[in-house]
Structure 1
Amino acid sequence: MNFDLSDEQQMLQDSAQRFVQKDYTFEHRRKLAAHGGGFSRDMWRAFGEMGWLGVAVPEAFGGLGFTPVESALIAEQFGRGLVLEPYVMCGVFPAALVTRCASGKQRDELLAEIISGETLIAVAHSEREARGVVSHVSMTAKQAQDGAWRLDGHKTLVVGATMADRLIVVARVAGGVRDAAGLGLFVVDPHAAGVTLEPYRLLDGTPAADLVLASVTVEAKAVIGTPGEALKGLLAAVDEAIVASCAELVGDIDDTVELTAEYLKTRKQFGVPIGSFQALQHRIADMAIDAMQARATLHRALKALSDDNGTRSVEVSGCKAQTIRSGKFVTQQGIQLHGGYGITDEYKVGHHYRRTLIVDALFGNMEYHLNRYARQIQADARALAA
Structure 2
Amino acid sequence: MSKLFEPLTIRGTSFRNRIWVSPMCQYMCVDHDGMPHDWHLVNAGTYAAGGAGLVMVEATAVTPEGRITSECAGLWNDAQRDRWARVTSFVHSQGALAGIQLAHAGRKASDYRGFTAEAGRTKPAAEGGWVPVSASAIPCPGMDVPHELDLDEIKALVDAFGEAAVRSLEAGFDVIEIHAAHGYLLHSFLSPLSNERTDGYGGSLENRARLLLEIVARIRSVAPTTPLFVRFSGTDWADGGWTPEETAQVASWAADAGADFFDISSGGLIRDIFISVSPGYQVPLTETVRRLGGVKAAAVGKITTPEQAEQILVDGRADAIFLGRELTRDPHFALRAAHVLGETIDYVPLPFRAATWV
More helix by share: 1
TM more than 0.5: no
**Structure 2-normalised TM-score?**
0.25
Given the two structures, how large is their TM-score scaled by the length of structure 1? 0.23
